[in-house]
């Protein structure tokens, strides 16, 4: 369908539109016009992606500025989905407009997914693929080849150089599969095609990390212009992504391997000094001159980028005491030895970067400044030495990253040394966590660089938390409700078991037999009445395991087994995917299944349980984080001191966003239906923190149920859902045809006009207004006079 | 518990076995390794005691003929003894070459200096004998030449260290304070909640039978109390922060003046009002002339004796003053100017006045 928002013609690739989609577009356009940021929450399964894309593409094509769209999503499958949507949209636009637009849309993912090289692509680990690819495509390899040396190169990569550099791939939208196929046909590397064409694209779809992780962003997203529109989809976890991108962990093992790496490096340097002294000398000269940008052209194959954010990058010459290659290696070794000594301590230490640095200086005479240049210097050295087996130097690179980060940031970071894995462990396994506490640090350059940033997800309540945590201003903050023609999902809060004893997974009572039994009977009851799939979420693996074993002892699992197949999620990805597959099969063939999984696990995010795959989601317990973790404690304290967010507020916000994510899994569209059961006493108070669309559907009668009441109301609900439901019923309510939309627009326009007119009247007739005011004034004056007169008379009388 | 066969031993690393007496950690749990910076050969503390208690002795390592003393021994900071040695040398070098970046004219000079120092250190650490000797000579020469500089820089460095340590300590202390504060606040809030609840229960127990009205009242009281508590807390917090800020500023006085943003200026009290002036500040002292006391003029002379003018309570001077005022009134007033500027009424006032008049007219008509 085709319609206008203000003056902007929008082509929407479906014949009908949801009211919330329209509202979303209006708000989005407002944001883009104003040139600011926004936070938007739209229920899952209401076509967020296509709404976003169709509005922004229309915006791009209509206005002369042609602002580029950077669409960031979380997983590979979501990227692929978005690309398919975009492709469909562009096809629709072509049909409608009658001509093909000048348009290019590309997706970017890791080398591992886009490699065509016959042997490299068969590697299993992404790191190995990266390293091997670099060793085949690095600039010096090609130079060597040209000189006639016998080195292995990647033919797919080298073919790219034969093409025009701004036209490596024809216009159109390329899904990842399509890109691979095109690459295979034309014998060109899909990964580098996408990387190099990014500047010439209208739409780029890639993962968060390409924008947030400074190590990658520096290389990939450097050339994007300021007026790009940045969209973070599924952004409810964006603060954690930000934090992870600036944090590193160092273990004993990585230090040992780093030492070996440093040793190798030294050997290489000695070799090179014997064979090719000139090269080392050249590098040295360059460093003396401070020519850091001299070989920016080769950026895309560089070993590692500076892990600090572009604003904090020190733009001067490398300090004198690490200019020489051998000096630098000795420097690294000293630093590694120091870390090793620190790791021998057998108590927990948490310290700030300045105190770490002063201790470091005291014992090793390493100053802050050369430490800051560590990453930079290592990259330069690796390039000079023309190392090919880069994967051996991975741990060394980690140490250098850590060194640079710790010397760059003083505020918002913390070092925590944990010598034991758990409190009860006897064998030490020390880990040095360098953690970023402030999510705003990593995302700040994004907000600084791009004028419009859109943060959106299905579950972002409470909305004001995100601008607070990430420290940015918004133009629009909006949460949309879901318009439904029938009540297609039933949220319930179950607080008591059938025996009226309250149920909760709070630490004191979680292992009490009565609580466990009540949860068990809840599961049994819902297994009885739910058709097809039932998904159960637990707060943690630990609790899930203990409760399952207790259920086994109580015979509850045997009871559930009569109705459903039981499958369990494990931390292992492959086992879980096998379980998921079995679950799907069982749901399709009518056996029905229960999937027991964890609210923070892999299943809770990114895997949809649409239609028969999920008719009930049962959330057992509030999924709080493990609060004894020192990292979490540090972060909570930081949040309290810096952003005035109280511990409990944050914990409860975090728990509820995960709970909402879990609930959202089951409802993936308007013709879908499902039960959402929150089983914990504590949910009652947290109700307000659920997303608006869930909270609205949660009736007051359903917030404090016991198991039997919940079951009976669920039965009633399922019976209504079993009635035939035609698409026609939804028309005009939850889906709008063109006419409905026009009506709505007219109504909105009328409202606007009325409002404007009222305002205008107020403005235009100041004389009238003044008259009225004056008359009022006069009248009151007269009254006053009367009073005065009366008073005077009284005075007279007195006199 | 059987004794382990000898073949199981090779897994023991050098960290767990003394190279001199071959004792393993299994037999001596708190074995400690010591080194002497003369030769960096490590041995267990038992060996050190055994060999060097009776005065200086030779290093027990084969081929090492250095004479070691008991008090030279210490435990190593680093696991890698070559690094330990390097750091010891660096300590010596750093004590001599301690110029800061500010001492150089350009960054490049400073970097060159750094490299020179690093080269020298490298010669000392891993150079050949000749190189080492040369480096040693340079070091001593530099020390002799720049004695004053070195001393000055050393003091400056110490001061900077001291300052940063103090700052760190202050920061830590402040963080601790804040933590305690937050804990206390949370505690108080909890107490308050309990108290409120009890108060509510009490008020219910005292039984206003009014039902709804009573409940509402209690709630209102509670809300009010909560509001009071919040206000009190806010005031207290403000006082506290002010106090702590003052303390901090006095503490940080040597670091730099602390300025607090966002502090409002204190409200000034309104200026005291004078006595009531019925003329609104107008003063009647004539500016163009001066009235003399006891003015004489033939024109007024005859009235001086006139009983109509000199009756009781009547001052003849006032008569003359008024006469003079009337004579001079209107001088310095130019009608044309006033016409142009208006009569001191703004256009708006005029408009509203006319509107008012019109309105009155309207009403009159209606009437």
Write a three-state SS string for A295-316. Answer: CHHHHHHCCCCCCCCHHHCCCC
DSSP A326-377: HHHHHHHHHHHHHHHHHHT--S-EEE-HHHHHHHHHHHH---HHHHHTHHHH
Own/partner contacts of A177-186, CB < 8 Å, gap of 24 or more, are A177/A80, A179/A106, A179/A107, A179/A114, A180/A114, A180/A116, A183/A114, A183/A116, A183/A156, A184/A116, A186/A159
How does pLDDT run across A136-148, given as a tens digit for each residue?
888 778 788 888 8
Backbone angles phi, psi at A619, to 5 degrees: -100, 105
Identify the H or E element spanning A51.
helix A48-62
Q: Is the pLDDT score of B251 beyond 70? A: no
Instruction: State how far the Cα of A188 lies from the Cα of B340, in Å rounded to an integer.
Output: 86
The gap from C-alpha B306 to its chain's centroid, in whole angstroms, comes to 85
Residues of A in Cβ contact (< 8 Å) with B113: 320
Are the CB atoms for A341 and B83 separated by under 8 Å?
no
Task: Provide the pLDDT for residue A558.
Answer: 95
CATH classification of B1-96, choosing from 3.40.190.170, 3.30.40.10, 3.40.190.10, 3.30.450.40?
A: 3.30.40.10
Instruction: State how far the Cα of A13 lies from the Cα of A87, in Å rounded to an integer.
Output: 11
**DSSP-based helix, strand, coil % in chain A, nearest 5:** 55, 15, 30
Confidence at A294, pLDDT banded by 50, 70, 90: very low
Mean pLDDT on B120-146: 88
User: Among the listed ranges A361-365, B266-270, B322-326, which one has the minimum average pLDDT value?
Assistant: B266-270
Mean pLDDT on A610-629: 91
Instruction: State how far the Cα of A419 lies from the Cα of A345, in Å rounded to an integer.
Output: 7
Tokens 């299905």 appear where?
A458
Going by C-alpha positions, the residue among A585, A533, A536 that lies closest to residue A564 is A533
Task: Provide the pLDDT for residue A711.
Answer: 95
The shortest C-alpha distance from B76 to chain A (Å) reads 10
Mean pLDDT on A78-95: 92
Instruction: State how far the Cα of A733 lies from the Cα of A725, in Å rounded to an integer.
Output: 14
How does pLDDT run across A472-497, given as a tens digit for each residue?
999 999 999 888 888 889 999 999 99
Residues of A in Cβ contact (< 8 Å) with B187: none
Instruction: State how far the Cα of A55 lies from the Cα of A456, in Å rounded to an integer.
Output: 15
Confidence at B82, pLDDT banded by 50, 70, 90: confident
CA angle B189, B194, B199 (to 5 degrees): 120
The gap from C-alpha A706 to its chain's centroid, in whole angstroms, comes to 36
The upper half-sphere exposure of residue B345, i.e. CA atoms within 13 Å in the direction of its Cβ, equals: 10
Chosen for mutation from A291, A334, A337, A639 (greatest number of chain B CBs closer than 10 Å) is: A337
Bridge partners, residue A231, by sequence = A71, A454
How does pLDDT run across A643-697, given as a tens digit for each residue?
888 888 899 999 999 999 999 888 888 888 999 999 999 999 999 999 999 999 9
Task: Provide the pLDDT for residue B255.
Answer: 40
Kindly state the percentage of chain A with pLDDT values over 70: 94
Do the chains contact at B179 and A337, CB–CB below 8 Å? no
Residues of A in Cβ contact (< 8 Å) with B356: 774-775, 777-778
Task: Provide the pLDDT for residue A200.
Answer: 87
CA angle A492, A497, A501 (to 5 degrees): 125
Do the chains contact at A364 and B352, CB–CB below 8 Å? no
Confidence at A767, pLDDT banded by 50, 70, 90: low
> Which of A777 and B279 is assigned the larger pLDDT?
B279
How does pLDDT run across B18-29, given as a tens digit for each residue?
888 888 888 888
At A166, list the tokens.
Answer: 């701004």
Strands A593-598, A565-568: pairing kind:
parallel
Burial of A255 (0-12, 13-18, 19+ CB in 10 A): buried
Instruction: State how far the Cα of A780 lies from the Cα of A786, in Å rounded to an integer.
Output: 10
pLDDT averaged over every residue in chain A: 87
Instruction: State how far the Cα of A359 lies from the Cα of A339, in Å rounded to an integer.
Output: 11
Mean pLDDT on A417-443: 89
Burial A323-333 (b: 16+ CB within 10 A, else e): bbbbbbbbbbb
Q: Is the pLDDT score of A293 beyond 60? A: no
Instruction: State how far the Cα of B50 lies from the Cα of B60, in Å rounded to an integer.
Output: 11
Among chain A residues, CA nearest to B122: A327
Burial of B43 (0-12, 13-18, 19+ CB in 10 A): buried
At A515, list the tokens.
Answer: 């609580």
Going by C-alpha positions, the residue among A590, A497, A482, A584 that lies closest to residue A535 is A584
Instruction: State how far the Cα of B28 lies from the Cα of A466, in Å rounded to an integer.
Output: 57
Q: Does A338 touch chain B (CB under 8 A)?
A: yes
Task: Provide the pLDDT for residue A632.
Answer: 92
Are the CB atoms for A203 and A69 separated by under 8 Å?
yes
Identify the H or E element spanning A783.
helix A766-798
Own/partner contacts of B177-186, CB < 8 Å, gap of 24 or more, are B177/B244, B178/A641, B179/A637, B181/B240, B182/A640, B185/B233
At B7, list the tokens.
Answer: 């073949």
Are the CB atoms for A343 and A415 separated by under 8 Å?
no
- Considering only CB atoms, A333 lies closest to which of B83, B110, B165, namely B83
Q: Is the pLDDT score of B317 beyond 80? A: no
> Which of B265 and A27 is assigned the larger pLDDT?
A27
Are the CB atoms for A69 and A231 separated by under 8 Å?
yes
> Which of A517 and A769 is assigned the larger pLDDT?
A517
How does pLDDT run across A198-215, given as a tens digit for each residue?
888 899 999 988 888 888
Bridge partners, residue A782, by sequence = none
Identify the H or E element spanning A452.
strand A452-457
- Considering only CB atoms, B80 lies closest to which of A323, A337, A637, namely A337
Q: Does B87 touch chain A (CB under 8 A)?
A: yes
Confidence at A224, pLDDT banded by 50, 70, 90: confident
Residues of A in Cβ contact (< 8 Å) with B355: 767, 770-771, 774
Would you list the domain boundaries of chain B? Answer: 1-96, 103-269, 298-366
Residues 244-303 of B with CB under 8 A from A: none
Count, in order, helices (H) and strands (E) of chain A. Answer: 32, 21
Going by C-alpha positions, the residue among A622, A653, A620 that lies closest to residue A636 is A653
Q: Is the pLDDT score of A789 beyond 80? A: no
Are the CB atoms for B15 and A340 separated by under 8 Å?
no
Q: Does B61 touch chain A (CB under 8 A)?
A: no
The gap from C-alpha B270 to its chain's centroid, in whole angstroms, comes to 32
Alpha helices in chain B (DSSP H): 45-52, 81-96, 107-126, 129-145, 147-205, 212-251, 298-304, 316-328, 335-341, 347-366
A244 Cβ contact list (under 8 Å, min separation 6): none
Mean pLDDT on B315-336: 78
Instruction: State how far the Cα of A617 lies from the Cα of A614, in Å rounded to an integer.
Output: 7
Do the chains contact at B78 and A340, CB–CB below 8 Å? yes
Chosen for mutation from B33, B87, B111 (greatest number of chain A CBs closer than 10 Å) is: B111
Are the CB atoms for B87 and B141 separated by under 8 Å?
no
The alpha-carbon radius of gyration of chain A (Å, integer) is 31
At A330, list the tokens.
Answer: 């000795």
- Considering only CB atoms, A641 lies closest to which of B178, B355, B356, namely B178
> Which of A231 and A132 is assigned the larger pLDDT?
A231
The shortest C-alpha distance from B67 to chain A (Å) reads 27
The shortest C-alpha distance from B79 to chain A (Å) reads 7
At A755, list the tokens.
Answer: 């409002």
For residue A453, give the 3-state DSSP assignment.
strand
Are the CB atoms for A50 and A85 separated by under 8 Å?
yes
Residues of B in Cβ contact (< 8 Å) with A337: 78-80, 83
Task: Provide the pLDDT for residue A703.
Answer: 92
How does pLDDT run across A311-367, given as a tens digit for each residue?
777 777 888 888 888 899 999 999 999 999 999 888 899 889 999 999 999 899 998
Do the chains contact at A365 and B87, CB–CB below 8 Å? yes
Bridge partners, residue A492, by sequence = A677
Q: Does B354 touch chain A (CB under 8 A)?
A: no
pLDDT averaged over every residue in chain B: 74
Going by C-alpha positions, the residue among A630, A675, A682 that lies closest to residue A655 is A682
Positive or negative, the CA dihedral A52, A53, A59, A64 is positive
Kindly state the percentage of chain B with pLDDT values over 90: 8
Quote the DSSP letter at residue B264: P
The shortest C-alpha distance from B359 to chain A (Å) reads 7
- Considering only CB atoms, B112 lies closest to which of A320, A333, A365, namely A320
Going by C-alpha positions, the residue among A602, A584, A496, A628 that lies closest to residue A541 is A602
At B6, list the tokens.
Answer: 């000898």
User: Among the listed ranges A301-305, A339-343, A583-587, A642-646, which one has the minimum average pLDDT value?
Assistant: A301-305
Residues 732-791 of A with CB under 8 A from B: 767, 770-771, 774-775, 777-778
Tokens 């509402």 appear where?
B216
């Amino acid at each position: 369908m085709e319609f206008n928002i203000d003056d902007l013609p929008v082509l929407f690739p479906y014949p009908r539109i949801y009211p919330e989609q329209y509202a979303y577009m209006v708000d989005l356009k407002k944001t883009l016009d104003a040139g600011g940021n926004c936070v938007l929450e739209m229920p899952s399964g209401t076509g967020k992606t296509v709404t976003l894309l169709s509005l922004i593409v229309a915006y791009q094509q209509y206005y002369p500025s042609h602002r580029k769209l950077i669409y960031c999503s979380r997983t590979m499958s979501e990227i692929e989905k978005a690309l398919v949507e975009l492709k469909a949209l562009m096809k629709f636009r072509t049909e409608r407009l009658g001509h093909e637009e000048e348009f290019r849309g590309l997706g970017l993912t890791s080398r591992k997914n886009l490699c065509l090289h016959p042997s490299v692509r068969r590697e299993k680990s992404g790191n190995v693929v990266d390293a091997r690819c670099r060793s085949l495509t690095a600039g010096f390899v090609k130079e060597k080849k040209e000189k006639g040396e016998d080195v292995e190169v990647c033919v797919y990569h080298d073919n790219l150089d034969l093409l025009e550099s701004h036209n490596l791939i024809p216009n159109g939208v390329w899904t990842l599969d399509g890109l691979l196929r095109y690459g295979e046909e034309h014998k060109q590397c899909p990964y580098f095609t996408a990387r190099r064409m990014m500047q010439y694209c209208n739409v780029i779809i890639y993962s968060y990390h390409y924008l947030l992780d400074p190590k990658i962003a520096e290389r990939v997203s450097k050339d994007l212009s300021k007026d790009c529109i940045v969209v973070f989809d599924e952004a409810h976890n964006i603060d954690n992504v930000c934090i992870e991108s600036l944090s590193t962990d160092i273990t004993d093992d990585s230090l040992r391997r780093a030492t070996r790496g440093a040793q190798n490096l030294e050997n290489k340097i000695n070799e090179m000094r014997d064979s090719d002294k000139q090269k080392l000398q050249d590098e040295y000269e360059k460093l003396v001159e401070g020519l850091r940008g001299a070989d920016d052209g080769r950026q895309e194959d560089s070993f590692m980028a500076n892990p600090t954010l572009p604003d904090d990058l020190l733009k001067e010459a490398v300090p004198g005491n690490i200019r020489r290659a051998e000096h630098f290696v000795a420097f690294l070794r000293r630093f590694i030895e120091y870390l090793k000594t620190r790791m021998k301590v057998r108590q927990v230490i948490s310290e700030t970067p300045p105190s770490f640095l002063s201790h470091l200086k005291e014992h090793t005479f390493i100053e802050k400044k050369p430490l800051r240049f560590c990453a930079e210097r290592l990259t330069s050295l690796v390039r000079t030495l023309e190392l090919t087996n880069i994967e051996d130097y991975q741990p060394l690179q980690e140490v250098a990253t850590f060194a640079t980060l710790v010397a760059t940031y003083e505020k918002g970071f913390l070092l925590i040394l944990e010598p034991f894995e758990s409190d009860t462990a006897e064998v030490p396994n020390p880990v040095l966590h360098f953690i970023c506490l402030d999510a705003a640090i990593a995302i700040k350059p994004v907000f600084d660089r791009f004028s419009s940033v859109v943060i959106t997800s299905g579950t972002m309540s409470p909305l004001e938390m995100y601008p607070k945590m990430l420290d940015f201003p918004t133009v629009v903050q909006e949460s949309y409700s879901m318009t439904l023609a029938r009540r297609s999902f039933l949220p319930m809060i179950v607080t008591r078991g059938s025996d009226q004893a309250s149920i909760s997974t709070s630490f004191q009572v979680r292992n009490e037999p009565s609580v466990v039994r009540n949860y068990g009977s809840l599961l049994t009851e819902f297994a009885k009445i739910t058709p097809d799939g039932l998904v159960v979420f637990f707060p943690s693996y630990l609790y899930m395991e203990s409760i399952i074993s207790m259920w086994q002892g109580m015979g509850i699992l045997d009871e559930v087994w009569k109705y459903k197949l039981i499958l369990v999620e494990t931390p292992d990805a492959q086992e879980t995917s096998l379980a998921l597959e079995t679950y799907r099969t069982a749901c399709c063939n009518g056996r029905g299944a229960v999937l027991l999984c964890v609210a923070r696990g892999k299943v809770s995010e990114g895997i949809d349980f649409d239609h028969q795959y999920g008719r009930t989601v049962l959330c057992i317990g509030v999924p709080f984080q493990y609060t004894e973790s020192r990292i979490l404690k540090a972060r909570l304290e930081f949040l309290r001191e810096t952003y005035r967010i109280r511990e409990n507020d944050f914990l409860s916000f975090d728990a509820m966003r995960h709970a909402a994510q879990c609930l959202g899994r089951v409802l993936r569209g308007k013709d879908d239906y499902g039960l959402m059961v929150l089983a914990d006493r504590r949910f009652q108070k947290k109700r307000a923190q659920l997303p608006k669309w869930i909270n609205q559907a949660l009736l007051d009668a359903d917030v404090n149920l016991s198991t039997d009441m919940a079951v009976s109301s669920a039965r009633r609900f399922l019976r209504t859902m079993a009635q035939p439901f035609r698409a026609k019923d939804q028309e005009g309510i939850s889906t709008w045809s063109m006419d409905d939309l026009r009506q709505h627009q007219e109504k909105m326009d009328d409202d606007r006009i009325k409002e404007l007119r009222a305002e205008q009247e107020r403005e235009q007739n100041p004389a009238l207004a003044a008259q009225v005011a004056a008359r009022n004034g006069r009248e009151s004056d007269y009254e006053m006079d009367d009073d005065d007169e009366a008073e005077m008379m009284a005075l007279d009388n007195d006199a | 518990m059987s004794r382990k066969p000898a073949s199981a031993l090779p897994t023991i690393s050098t960290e767990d076995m003394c190279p001199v007496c071959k004792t393993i950690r299994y037999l001596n749990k708190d074995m400690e390794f010591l080194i002497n910076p003369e030769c960096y050969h490590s041995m267990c503390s038992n060996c050190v005691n055994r060999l060097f208690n009776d005065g200086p002795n030779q290093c027990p390592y084969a081929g090492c003929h250095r004479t070691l003393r008991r008090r030279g021994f210490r435990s190593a900071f680093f696991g890698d003894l070559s690094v330990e040695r390097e750091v010891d040398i660096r300590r010596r070098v750093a004590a001599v070459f301690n110029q800061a970046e500010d001492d150089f004219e350009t960054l490049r000079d400073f970097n060159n200096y750094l490299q020179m120092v690093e080269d020298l250190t490298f010669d000392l650490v891993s150079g050949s004998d000749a190189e080492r000797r040369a480096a040693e000579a340079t070091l001593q020469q530099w020390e002799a030449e720049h004695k004053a500089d070195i001393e000055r820089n050393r003091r400056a460095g110490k001061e900077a260290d001291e300052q940063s340590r103090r700052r760190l300590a202050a920061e830590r202390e402040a963080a601790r304070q804040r933590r305690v504060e937050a804990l206390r606040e949370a505690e108080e809030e909890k107490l308050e909640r309990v108290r409120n609840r009890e108060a509510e229960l009490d008020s219910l127990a005292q039984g206003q039978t009014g039902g709804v009205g009573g409940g509402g009242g209690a709630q209102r009281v509670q809300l009010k109390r909560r509001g009071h508590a919040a206000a009190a807390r806010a005031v207290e917090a403000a006082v506290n922060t002010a106090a702590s800020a003052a303390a901090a500023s006095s503490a940080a006085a040597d670091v730099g003046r602390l300025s607090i943003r966002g502090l409002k200026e204190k409200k000034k009290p309104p200026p005291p009002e004078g006595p009531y002036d019925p003329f609104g500040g107008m003063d009647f002292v004539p500016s163009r002339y001066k009235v003399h006391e006891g003015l004489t003029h033939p024109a007024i002379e005859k009235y001086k004796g006139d009983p109509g003018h000199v009756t009781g309570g009547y001052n003849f001077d006032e008569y003359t003053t008024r006469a003079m005022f009337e004579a001079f009134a209107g001088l310095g007033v130019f009608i044309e100017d006033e016409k142009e500027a208006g009569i001191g009424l703004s256009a708006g006032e005029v408009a509203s006045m006319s509107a008012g008049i019109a309105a009155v007219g309207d009403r009159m008509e209606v009437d």
